[in-house]
Structure 1
Amino acid sequence: MKCRYCKAEIPEGELYCKKCGREVQIVPDYNPLEEMLTAQIQLDGNEQESELDQYINQKRRNNNRTGQSAGRNTGSTGRGAGRNTGRSASRTAANTTGRRMTVNTTGQMLTEKERRKRQSARAARKKALRRKRRIVLLIMAAIVVLAGAGFYVVYQNSYNGIMKKAQKATQSKDYTTAEAYYKQAISKNTKKADAYTGLADVYLSQDKTDEGTTLFEEAVSKQSGNVELYKACMDFYLKSDQNMKIPELLDSVSDSMLEKLNDYVVDEPKFSLEDSTTYDDVQKLLLTADKDTIYYTTDGTDPDLTSTKYTSEGIQISEGETTIKAIAVNKKGVPSSISKKVYTVEFPVEDAPAVSPSTGQYEEAVQIEVKVPEGYTAYYTTDGTDPTTASTKYTGPIDMPKGETLFKVVLVNGKGRMSGITTRNYMYDNQ
């Protein structure tokens, strides 16, 4: 580094130029924290600086008085000569004291002792500054550590922290601990669905399906507007093979909520036949559902995913009364509500059966014959009572009994429907 005044080389660390005696100007990098601390140190050193300035000013006054006295003793009458003599005397006095003088950047004369005092003061200030820096850094580090520890404690007791511990316990199959953590998380935030899901899964892993079901059903009953909780409940139904509970749950929600749960809403299958009329012949019923699978029953029981799977061949509705119940199930396994129709098919019933011979009195043996159409069975009586399916079954011609006989016969089809009754009154006397 070179002196800005005399261009002489200045060794590293020197504060004054040895050639011209001027102070070296060092411009440090700007640091807001350092500036703040330096200002504080400067305030602390004001008192010491004041004493040093007083000493320097006193030396100046002494030098000036010495110069003036020497000028007067020469007897010079000229002001210029007096000043020259004063300067000479001042320099002589300075040299005789044995103290070397230096000049700072402001032109002030400093002795070697004064210069060292200033250097010592600056060194002390720098040392104090470094010490304060270390203290500030230590304080900042302590704050960071304490903040981190505080955050960790807060996180561990927060909803997310508790959930993380619950999930970890679940993964390690420590279900007792996991159950406790999930319950704690629910108490922290009753609206978060994932805590209910986690606890229900723990129940499911222990074959406690009923407890998981109760957990969700109680929760949704208290939070009828919690969409995520409803979704979590229905997902649990799917996982626990309780699919048919989904449409039951959806039946209890409002229309606005139903729109938000649209992914779980499946339209009922459509029937090709109405059940408001009675059919007189066998019918073929077709069911349709948009891209969904249909399951149905014909015995009046509620269908589920184990019931008969519908095919494009349709369902045959035979004579009599038939109850068809059907559901549509989407790809996720979500079923629709049950759609039900009751069909009635009644075949036309034959008129009263034809019987021969006709009513009359007979003297010779005669057989009674009944014409039975295909698909029917004939039942008869000979004592005048109306025949039923519990009466004597007609299997072929019957010998006419002796005496008076009131013969009655009826036809019954495969569905138990009876025709009208045919009555004949016979009198057989073979004398």
Structure 2
Amino acid sequence: YDKALEYINKKDYAKACSYAERAVELEPGNVEYLVRLAGCFSAMGNEEETIELCLRIIGMDESNEAAYKRLISIYEKRKEYDIINELLLSCGNEQIVSQYPGFIAKPPEFSFKGGVYNETLSLKMLANTQGTIYYTVDGSKPDESGLVYSSPVFLESGQYDIRAVFINSYGVESDETQEHYFVDVTVPEAPLVSPEEGEYSRPTIISVEVPEDYTVYYTTDGTLPTADSIQYTGPFPMPVGVNTFRFVSYSAAGVAGVETQVRYSLNLHAALSIEAAKNKLLFELVNAGIIQDMSGSVKTGSGHNVYGYKYAVTVDGTDYYLYREYYEDDAGNRAGTGTDYVVSIMEGQCYKAVQAAKETSAAGAAVQGDGGKLPDEPETSAKEASEENADAKDKGPWSTLILQDINSGSNPE
């Protein structure tokens, strides 16, 4: 090896090569010897031998800058830029790669990941060095006959399947980048709420027309509704007193629409207050033996029944307060018993209330039968709710509600 260095200094590369080859024979794993031998081959113009040795060196030492430098010099001379690109992309040493940025063709980088967006996107495409980005927006393969990226691409409402490649100044083409975008910036219209705001003196149902693929949320405390507010799932009774509702529609992409705000005043002109009617109900339940005292104590268990006011209803032309029965244990845990009661707002008559269940006959016609308790909100679609409200003058919104005597459970005369 010392003799090889001696002749290298004299620029007698033929003799230096013979000594360097002998040194490699004696120590084939010595990278320093291999580098010197590659230098001799390179100085003598033996490109193939130089390439073979440099690849061998890189296989043993991925960070050997001398080997990369000689390889890139030979490939550049031959204009084999694709090979240089592959060589650098496979190099794990960023310090070496950073010295040759112009030879590398990396896939373009997009400023937004693919996905669903509720706002117009200004999509930027970034290249790692000088060159040209070609792209398509319809999912077709990008090439030099496609669109040339020169400024951000604006993605408005719609679907986009964007594919892009980068070609550097040496004509080397990168791998492809592909992303799919769905942009929906359609602002939903204000929800259609019925009835109109105003003053009411009879129990009334509030319903909202919800377009397909939209979701409506609302608040009752005066705050602006968001996607975290109460979700409208079906028509619900108007609460007694003065209340302001705010409704907003959200699109499937999460875009909030124009708000609808309504103010209702429901004054039933009742002879009994909600609390007085509840006391009347408790008195009747004690007389019927359903509870033991006005505090709701029951025969079995250590807990008691609780009767919570839900809303006002109209049955056969008479207005009632509806109360839901819950069982509450000593720990304060509460669960519904499945029973509802109504109390006339004027006379104080008390009844058990059940919702008639819809059954289907053999002929396929809908018939009525005794069902369970009333739901918190009627499970009807927006279309069905609209039809029900249209018939409310004739049937009333609670036409399927059946009243039974508290004592016998049978229908009252």
TM-score higher than 0.5: no
- Structure 1 length as normaliser, TM-score? 0.39
Q: Which has the larger radius of gyration?
A: 1
* Structure with more relative contact order (C-alpha pairs < 8 Å, separation 6 or more): 2
- Structure 2 length as normaliser, TM-score? 0.41
From the two aligned structures, give the one with the greater strand fraction. Answer: 2
